[in-house]
Amino acid sequence: MSENIYLPRMATIQSMRPETIDVTTFRVTIDGSDGTGKFEYKSGQFAEVSVLGVGEAPISITSSPTRPEAIEFSIRRVGELTNALHELEPLDKIGIRGPFGNFFPLEEMEGQNLLIIGGGIGLAPLRSVILNVFDNRAKYGKIDIIYGARSPQDLVFTSEYKEWQAVDNTRLHLTVDRGDEEWKGNVGLVPTFLREINPSPENTISITCGPPIMIKFVIEALNELGFSSEHIITTLERRMKCGVGKCGRCNIGSKYVCLDGPVFTLKQLEEMPSD
Ligand SMILES: Cc1cc2nc3c(=O)[nH]c(=O)nc-3n(C[C@H](O)[C@H](O)[C@H](O)COP(=O)(O)OP(=O)(O)OC[C@H]3O[C@@H](n4cnc5c(N)ncnc54)[C@H](O)[C@@H]3O)c2cc1C
Ligand code: FES
């Protein structure tokens, strides 16, 4: 009998790390396995995460497949399902379907410099890339990470920044829209900060994820800096339901974002119908 694609696998929450007032990182293991079990995924993919009796939602996998002990999701509470997830505790059960969607082409990016640009909770799928390339450090050139949030309190993964900054040939550039008395870093929007940092497009791939408005202006800035459409990789935010190309909720023209995306090069986006 074929496997039911709508049936989630049960998983156990091992820990919940608060990132901000409304974002928590859930570390989970698939039941009946040593950790991720048969849940083999690539950086950039997502899963449908569910709470029994409440529902499910697409959530990016923020851990790296190079660290198979557990799977991590960083989730902002915005509505019914995400609120229910935040009410859970370690050792509670959740459902997981997936992994779904395509992924960042890390193998094709080997030998290149990486410019990783994130905004808000959009750093979640990028963290999977960051940890993955750190675990394969010799395969990549220089790594620049530009990350921005509304305020210092909205930055996610702050407990890891020291570790990230200590990695060879890696720079983390932080910015916030509004600082406070303690904030010593940059104040300003991500696209403006990107222009100030002025990275060279030579032998460099940029990948970006964040609010659609940030992505729009980041792409504009990258174009001005001379990055080609093939070297700008981004993610598309779309409402989703099934996650497996059946319900038609997420399509743009002939493309299903849940199957063909959420990762696209700017060149691919330029070839899609605008809506
Ligand atoms: C591929 C993909 C990856 C995602 N990764 C993450 C992630 O890593 N972390 C995270 O916190 N969220 C992520 N999201 C968004 C997440 O799926 C929604 O926040 C979630 O579905 C909300 O469910 P809910 O029942 O809590 O809220 P609902 O009660 O359904 O909605 C609450 C509010 O959120 C809005 N909303 C719901 N779904 C979306 C959506 N897909 N895009 C924009 N607004 C939406 C609704 O319009 C409403 O205003 C991702 C979405 C997609 C498509
Ligand atoms: S979410 Fe159902 S087709 Fe993409």
pLDDT tens per residue across span 193-239: 999 999 999 999 999 999 999 999 999 999 999 999 999 999 988 88
Burial of 183 by CB count in 10 Å (0-12 exposed, 13-18 middle, 19+ buried)? middle
Cα-to-centroid distance, 166 and ligand 1 (Å)? 33
> Could you confirm whether domain 113-235 is CATH 3.30.70.2860?
no
CATH class of the domain defined by 9-100: mainly beta
Confidence of residue 14 (pLDDT cuts 50, 70, 90): very high
Which ligand has an atom closest to residue 258 CA? Answer: 2
Which residue, among 91, 86, 159, has the nearest Cα to 127 in the 3D structure?
159
Atom number in ligand 2 closest to CA 258: 4
pLDDT tens per residue across span 26-49: 999 999 876 667 789 999 999 999
CA 140, 209, 9, 57: dihedral to nearest 10 degrees? Answer: 180
Indicate whether residue 58 lines ligand 1 (CB < 6 A).
yes
Residues with CB under 6 A from ligand 2: 240-243, 245-250, 256, 258
In which element (H, E) is residue 96 found?
strand 93-100
CA distance linking residue 53 with residue 81, whole number of Å:
10
CA distance linking residue 7 with residue 29, whole number of Å:
17
User: 2 pLDDT exceeds 60?
Assistant: no
Which residue, among 33, 38, 32, has the nearest Cα to 98 in the 3D structure?
38
> Domains of the chain: which residue ranges?
9-100, 113-235
Lowest model confidence (mean pLDDT) among 115-119, 136-140, 230-234, 254-258: 254-258
> Atom 29 of ligand 1 has which residue's CA nearest to it?
79
Site to substitute for ligand 2 among 241, 255, 260, most atoms within 8 A of C-beta: 241
Which ligand has an atom closest to residue 79 CA? Answer: 1
CA distance linking residue 153 with residue 68, whole number of Å:
30
> Atom 3 of ligand 2 has which residue's CA nearest to it?
245
Contact predicate 117/194, CB 8 Å: yes
Indicate whether residue 126 lines ligand 1 (CB < 6 A).
no
